[in-house]
Amino acid sequence: MDIISSITEMQSFSLAARQSGKKVAFVPTMGFLHEGHASLLREGRRRGDILVLSIFVNPTQFGPNEDLDRYPRDFARDETIAREAGVDVIFYPTADTIYPPGYSTYVDVEGALTTVLEGACRPGHFRGVATVVAKLFLIVQPHVALFGRKDFQQLAVVRRMTRDLNLPVEIVGMPIVREADGLAMSSRNVYLAPDERRQALAIAAALHLAGQAAREGECSPRKLLLLAEGRLHQEPELCIEYVTIRHQETLREVDEIDADAAMLIAVRVGKTRLIDNAMLLV
């Protein structure tokens, strides 16, 4: 497994792989890998001849009061997980490599996709995500890139950007991986104190309750939202940022539940912000 930090080296590597007819699969991450990332890597391994993992804590997607400085990092552990998953190259640039002095170009996906939900709670977040993902695609030049569905809105934004910019990359969304007790895997779970972690289980429980009711025939978004909110309120320390039901591609609110309806939740538990989601009929 190679570790590459230079953009030109990464580009040459990918170009050579492509020229020799190899299919390049790519998993972009911010490191501190968990089983969710490992599932993306395994699928990438299956789909590509060459598997590239990027580890880059992207400063432009963090707001001024967010957790950029304390975002968890453990490169040695990430390396082990990557090796076990059969990664060929870890692209591991510094912030200065990606954003050298004078850097001025950003990718803005306009409209509701980036202004609602996470976009409203975290202004500028998706500009940072779209910019770094576009740059990573130009550096790694993958045929296929894999993203987790836990970052539901991010996946919709990346799909939109890839279509709009005609980037020749197939985007694959992968299922959320959960702990045995239902908590969606996230690098930020490490911030949770034991009691906060227990409270956080209400998120998956609320999604489960709403999904179960939808599959049993409840088709009123309002009633499903009340059910989910009721479950979250059983943990009074949870601070709800949003609970909403949206169309999976447009992220518009829906009037009726159908196969495109997803419930999305964002809460704060202590100082930690957690997001989760589920398709209601799948």
Instruction: Name the site residues for ligand PAF (rule: CB under 6 A).
Output: 28-30, 58, 61, 129, 132-133, 151, 154
| Distance of alpha carbon 254 from alpha carbon 56, whole angstroms | 35
Instruction: State the nearest-atom distance from the C-beta of 268 to ligand PAF, in Å.
Output: 19
Residue 13 or residue 147: which is nearer to ligand PAF going by CB? 147
37 is catalytic: yes
Question: Apex CA 31: angle with CA 27 and CA 35, to 5°?
Answer: 75
Q: Which residue has the tokens 């495109």?
A: 260
Among 218, 47, 226, 216, which residue's Cα sits nearest to residue 142?
47
| Distance of alpha carbon 32 from alpha carbon 79, whole angstroms | 10
Q: 37, 125, 143, 233: which one is catalytic? A: 37
Instruction: State the nearest-atom distance from the C-beta of 260 to ligand PAF, in Å.
Output: 23
Residue 125 or residue 231: which is nearer to ligand PAF going by CB? 125
Q: Are the C-beta atoms of 3 and 92 separated by less than 8 Å? A: yes
Instruction: State the nearest-atom distance from the C-beta of 75 to ligand PAF, in Å.
Output: 15
Residue 128 or residue 221: which is nearer to ligand PAF going by CB? 128
Residue 61 or residue 162: which is nearer to ligand PAF going by CB? 61
Q: How far apart are the first and last CA of the chain?
A: 38
201 burial level (CB within 10 Å; 0-12, 13-18, 19+): middle
Instruction: State the nearest-atom distance from the C-beta of 20 to ligand PAF, in Å.
Output: 27
- The residues that are catalytic are 37
